[in-house]
Structure 1
């Protein structure tokens, strides 16, 4: 069964710094497989979710190591940002959705929102332990963005295309 992830295709200019992340559109994918889970806002749960995504991609037959590693890193960074930079609500969990279409993967993390918006920080110093996450996501994903949902929660997504040159999964 084929369903579609909403909004419109990615224009070629989405990687441009002139397009703010909040205005970028998620790609439209003819989704073959999708999995959504709730993740407790604790480090150990984030680690389990990251490993779970790797196992999920493997169970789907996605074995291109570069793409799987990229998706795992992006999941880790987006979940960590959701844990560290959102307003915690007792009992509230972080939503994680992974969709696949023809080897391309769309990752989406929904959190409680917060007083700041996701942004790439100026280069973090060598001694800084934080501040590189979205720069890594920006460098590794084909596109990423965030939006505030009508209920005040925030959705941050990243899109990773299929293996270069249409390589086999």
Structure 2
């Protein structure tokens, strides 16, 4: 299946480690569905799953690009892979009523960059979708290497406001 759900002591914090394969996007969606249903928040599935899919897709693109670069540099196998033989990509969901956070970590230290939306191109609109479907989002570097990109959802959201939001100085994006 390409995933290993993590066991945590807190039932409102769940994590799934994904293999660096594009099929893992489906695994992330299944993980999101089952977690939200377990919390009684199935109504959030469409928004959270869309954002999770975008974040995991971005993480996979960076992880696969990083893997190719490391292979081209002829680094030893153990230097470029995690203990499980794969680059670490994880999706985590945290439920703290009335909010849910979806967070995806990957080995790339490069932060996400929102590009001008090109409605003809096949890619490049993902962060616009993340911004549109979440209450706020942002990213943080991880100690050593890598980053985590997160999105916040309200269980009882107010009607969506227009615009793509603004970025404050902490790297968080929020709706006006």
1:32–1:101 Cα contact (<8 Å) kept: no
TM-score, normalization: structure 1?
A: 0.71
How far apart, CA to CA, are the structure 2 residues paired with 1:125 and 1:96? 28
Gaps of 5+ in 2: 1-9, 68-79, 159-176
How far apart, CA to CA, are the structure 1 residues paired with 2:149 and 2:93? 12
What residue in structure 2 maps to residue 83 of structure 1? 60
Gaps of 5+ in 1: 1-30
1:106–1:157 Cα contact (<8 Å) kept: yes
TM-score, normalization: structure 2?
A: 0.68
1:97–1:108 Cα contact (<8 Å) kept: yes
What residue in structure 2 maps to residue 112 of structure 1? 107
Structure with larger Rg: 2
Considering Cα pairs closer than 8 Å and 6+ residues apart, tell me whether 1 or 2 has the greater RCO: 1
Q: Deviations over 1:28-47 (max 9, x none)?
A: xxx86110111111111221
Matched, 1:121 2:115: yes
Runs of 4+ in 1 over 3 A off after TM superposition: none
For the aligned residue pairs, the C-alpha RMSD in angstroms reads 1.8
2:94 corresponds, among 91, 99, 104, to 99
